[in-house]
Amino acid sequence: MPAHRYTAALAQQIELAWQDRWEAEGTFHTPNPTGRLSAGFERVADRPKAFVMDMFPYPSGAGLHVGHPLGYLGTDVTSRFLRMDGHNVLHPMGYDAFGLPAEQYAVQTGQHPRVTTEANIAAIAAQLRRLGVDHDQRRTFATIDPGYYRWTQWIFTRLFEAWFDPEQDRARPIAELVAELDAGTRSPAPGTDDSGLPWAELDRVQRRRVVDAHRLAYLNQAPVNWCPGLGTVLSNEEVTADGRSERGNFPVFRRPLTQWMMRITAYAERLLTDLDRLDWSESLKLMQRNWIGRSTGARIRFASSGEPVEVFTTRPDTLFGATYLVLAPEHPLVGSLTAAAWPADVDPRWTGGAATPGEAVAAYQRQASRRSELDRQAEGREKTGVWLGTTAVNPVNGARLPVFIADYVLTGYGTGAIMAVPGEDTRDFEFAEAFGLPVVRTVQPPADFAGGAYTGPGSMINSSNEEISLDGLGKAEAIAAVTGWLVAHGHGEATTTYKLRDWLFSRQRYWGEPFPIVYDADDLPVAVPESMLPVLLPEVDDYSPTTFADDDATSAPEPPLSRATEWTTVTLDLGDGPQQYRRETNTMPNWAGSCWYHLRYLDPADDEQLVDPELERYWLGPRSAGDTGGVDLYVGGVEHAVLHLLYARFWHKVLFDLGYVSSEEPFRRLVNQGYISAFAYTDDRGFHVPAADVVERDGQYLYEGRPVTREYGKMGKSLKNVVTPDEMIEAYGVDTFRVYEMSTGPLDQSRPWETKAAVGSQRLLQRIWRVVVDEVTGAVRVADDVQPDDDTSRALNRAVDGVREGMGSLRFNVAIARITELTNHLTQAYAGERPVPRAVAEGLVLLVAPLAPHLAEELWSRLGHPESVAWASFPHAEQRWLVDDTVQIVVQVNGKVRAQVAVPADADAAALEAAARADERIAGLLDGATVRRVVAVPGRLVNFVL
RNA sequence: GCGGGAGUGGUGUAACGGCAGCCACGCCAGACUUAGGAUCUGGUGCCUUCGGGCGUGGGGGUUCGAGUCCCCCCUCCCGCACCA
């Protein structure tokens, strides 16, 4: 083996040395335009900025596998490329460190979660350093740092001190609401005042309650997802479709509790429409659209024995086909509408076997509250329900419709009540069949219609009264007509509803941000003033919330902080002298810290403000009219498609409304990196065997000589197919690992892992090394006095062009292919003792620098450059080398390639045709035939159509 | 069920509507080697009577020309899932 070959050992030596030097020299320190971190800004003042960001990791302590760094490497390559290409690049990294795993570990070991969390952070930081990523270390922080969560709490107080003005479609300070209420220019929003008295007649506490009900962060007594097994409540987003906790897979129950909520629903429309202005993948936008779930339709009121029943429907056109109403079991009108007794001729299917409607309703409600979603599914979604013993009146035709409660109607969506149209709705049809209810068709089904609910298009039938007829109309006209009639008669109005619910923000955990809230003597919540932030997490003996049996639906939350009694009661002077207050003992959910971390990177040590507005404008502000602003490239996993990304957008919009940021959106361009899967193998007993020890022979897979079956799946311990970055770095060095990982496909694409294929990347780096360094002597072997020949100039410039294209589109595989082509050209054209011209060798080193930065630094340094290649200029392709003087033109006859001819690159169509006809083979094929048409595309081809 | 995305050699992939398969893995052959799971060179879609023919999931269409655009179908992946 030659003494100076680029082996794994040499690569590792080079890599560690350069990582030390980068750190010592602050190579990746990014200057801000102003403030504490602005040293050196003159150097980059004329550059465009680029903010490149990863979804920061949760330091779980579980081992990394090769899939985890994929996104980090993608942003690193991009950020290095952009820096070389003349941008002022911000590429920071931090840690999302509050959360359940550390707390659970703490519960088991009794060790403070901060201790394990900080150890895990140190471990990840070391791994990131070994990957050679170019983060600005001065900007690193963790969400658990008091200097960080102080501002998380501060944002909470801003949300608490704000309300959403629907007329202006934006958040405003709560003081402005109070002023308008006092002035009488505004009335409390519907549902915020249950006293029924005018504002002026309310006392202090009543007024506060009305105001509190307007806040963006508000307390609400409502059914929440209570998870006894975890001892905490969960947001809707944290509950799976089958009614279990996403973490831990425990049953979840609906239970009314007073909890903090975030009024994200106020922003539903803006969150939806602003998606159109973002550079995100369509699939991701679609997931958000589905989650927000806008439907347009109508609210319709049906007169009843008590208050009118208001339903929401997207099909008001089918109103004449409504044959019954259904309320959700938890609907507030259920009690008042329930009749005292069944009529004599009651259908036995409608009573649930109970003696009175009251008993039937009580039994059904109890059953519905206890049953988890999972149980409902297990029953095959059979429609169940009971009749309230009462009827309501269809406003359009006076029909008396029986009113049921049934769990197929959900409390939280629309009005929690529906008009059932079994003729045109599958679910209603199923219920009608089970309960023997009539079916009235109002849409003409096609002749071959098999029966059941018809949900397709068609003309309206059976839909007229004395004043209005929908018959013969299509769906859209019918909706417009009937809605107009309903509005005119005061029976309803057109409306829009969303699936999106307000965000449940309280958690009964220890390891989270404490709320900056205290309660006064009247039990009213008061924001802790800015000067008293952060509210530090107190030390406790026991980190666990009280948990209960998985299925104990009647249990109630007991947060760990409630046991810190000397902390929960506090005497503060909030302006009217020292008073005793009670602290909020819930903590914030895991998502809080990740809602705004993009802002804190701009200067994590700023203890004066959340973010300096000038820095925010520079790094995140809009670039043109109509631009949302935001991070220029945000890369992370698709698993955060709705939760984190929706919450972060919501907070950012609130901060925008309140004037703290100039950007309307946090993340202008977002890319989900693919995930890495790998083969796994099972033996004849079906057990997984270590994938690393399986060999392939003649198409058979063998483990210890015995055949095994190949499977394919996500990398993980259970499949015994984990490959770690450490193993790869040990075997090849990190540059090879980087190049291999980036060469397997576009960043957003999932891909299989194949360790042995990494040798291809190692060979490439070895060949690049040999272009510059003599393997035997170690001497630099480039030629200073030789001009490249034309072929080499063409190869170089084509490579530059292709690499730029690949870098810009995050298709690093394409960039690497072009680098490989250039390298292969050079190793052949300059084989033996002929050194490569310096300009070409340097060009190659610059091209590969974002991908294999340590190798590039070493070669760049050996080529005589004292300063880091990270700040060298990325090459530009010279246009003249991208076009040949003569080009090979394809000659087709009837679309089939029959010959190639060489013509000058600028030959026009006539010259092309002449050259083609001059070709012997083509002349032979055209001889005696009639050419009906000639297609000649200069620079491309000639096609003779016979 | 509804919505979305994707199907190209043995494998990962590449191809402004213009020569399908760049680049790499693997495989085959060779070179250098005491040796090679190192390195280097060449070959490698399928069929072939060696003329050529056929090939981008299947079927149609638009076009001088389709992997690429349109329609139908199949398969796989992802999201949502009683949302009125």
Domain-ending residue, one of A583, A604, A623: A583
Q: Is the pLDDT of residue A375 over 70?
A: no
- What pLDDT does A82 receive? 97
Q: Is A327 a member of any domain? A: yes
- A365 shares a domain with A325: yes
Mean pLDDT confidence for A217-229: 85
CA(A921)–C1'(B48) in Å?
22
Mean pLDDT confidence for A39-60: 94
Q: Is A181 a member of any domain? A: no
Q: What is the pLDDT of residues A875-916, one digit of tens each?
A: 999 988 887 777 777 888 877 778 878 888 777 888 888 888
Amino acid identity for residue A823 in this structure: T
- What pLDDT does A371 receive? 58
- What pLDDT does A243 receive? 73
Residues A168 and A171: their CA atoms lie apart, in Å, by 8
A 10 A CB-CB count for A492 gives 26
- A335 shares a domain with A303: yes
Residues A480 and A354: their CA atoms lie apart, in Å, by 43
CA(A716)–C1'(B22) in Å?
34
For residue A339, report the phi and psi dihedrals to the nearest 5 degrees: -75, 165
- Decide: helix, strand or coil at residue A721: coil
Closest residue (CA to C1') to nucleotide B66 in the complex? A895
A932: domain CATH number?
A: 3.10.20.590
- A87 shares a domain with A110: yes
Q: Which two tokens stand for residue A860?
A: 């760049």
CA(A2)–C1'(B32) in Å?
13
Contact yes or no for A561/A540 (Cβ under 8 A): yes
- What pLDDT does A870 receive? 97
- A717 shares a domain with A688: yes
- A477 shares a domain with A334: yes
A313: domain CATH number?
A: 3.90.740.10
Q: What is the pLDDT of residues A738-773, one digit of tens each?
A: 999 999 999 999 888 888 899 999 999 999 999 999
Q: Is A525 a member of any domain? A: yes
The pLDDT confidence band at residue A224, using thresholds 50, 70 and 90, is: confident
Residues A733 and A251: their CA atoms lie apart, in Å, by 46
β-strand pairing of A503-504 with A253-262: antiparallel
Q: Is A276 a member of any domain? A: no
- A492 shares a domain with A399: yes
- A682 shares a domain with A668: no
CA(A757)–C1'(B18) in Å?
34
Residues A809 and A404: their CA atoms lie apart, in Å, by 56
> How many domains does chain A fold into?
6
Lowest-confidence region among A86-95, A565-574, A828-837, A899-908: A899-908
Domain-ending residue, one of A664, A692, A722: A722
- What pLDDT does A370 receive? 65
- A707 shares a domain with A637: no
Nucleotide nearest to A641 (CA to C1'): B79
Total number of residues shown for chain A: 946
CA(A325)–C1'(B1) in Å?
24
- A202 shares a domain with A219: yes
Q: Is A179 a member of any domain? A: no
Q: Is A167 a member of any domain? A: no
β-strand pairing of A700-703 with A706-707: antiparallel
- What pLDDT does A930 receive? 79
Q: Is A439 a member of any domain? A: yes
Residues A182 and A772: their CA atoms lie apart, in Å, by 79
Between A550 and A293, whose confidence is greater? A293
User: Residue A825 is part of which domain span?
Assistant: 1-16+738-883
- What pLDDT does A158 receive? 97
- A606 shares a domain with A567: no
Task: For chain A, give the mean pLDDT.
Answer: 90
Between A228 and A527, whose confidence is greater? A527
Lowest-confidence region among A107-111, A137-141, A368-372, A814-818: A368-372
- What pLDDT does A378 receive? 44
> Which of chain B's bases lie under 7 Å from a protein CB?
3-5, 11-16, 18-20, 22-26, 35-36, 38-42, 53, 64-66, 78-84
- A457 shares a domain with A308: yes
- A470 shares a domain with A397: yes
Q: Is the pLDDT of residue A863 over 60?
A: yes
Q: What is the pLDDT of residues A494-515, one digit of tens each?
A: 999 999 989 989 988 899 999 9
Q: What is the pLDDT of residues A400-411, one digit of tens each?
A: 999 999 989 988
- What pLDDT does A540 receive? 87
Mean pLDDT confidence for A915-936: 81
- What pLDDT does A697 receive? 67
The pLDDT confidence band at residue A33, using thresholds 50, 70 and 90, is: very high
| Sequence-ordered list of residues with C-beta below 8 angstroms from that of A855, at least 6 positions apart, any chain | A6, A11, A14, A735, A765, A768, A769, A848
In the DSSP assignment, the letter for residue A669 is B
Mean pLDDT confidence for A139-153: 97
Nucleotide nearest to A498 (CA to C1'): B83
A 10 A CB-CB count for A542 gives 13
The pLDDT confidence band at residue A699, using thresholds 50, 70 and 90, is: low
Mean pLDDT confidence for A265-291: 92
Q: What is the pLDDT of residues A434-460, one digit of tens each?
A: 999 999 999 998 887 878 888 888 899
- In 3D space, the residue among A376, A374, A375, A390 whose CA is nearest the CA of residue A342 turns out to be A390
Q: Is the pLDDT of residue A379 over 70?
A: no
A894: left (phi over 0), alpha (psi -120 to 50) or beta: left
Q: Is A700 a member of any domain? A: yes
- What pLDDT does A373 receive? 47
Q: Is the pLDDT of residue A97 over 70?
A: yes
- What pLDDT does A881 receive? 86
Nucleotide nearest to A379 (CA to C1'): B82
ipTM value > 0.90: yes
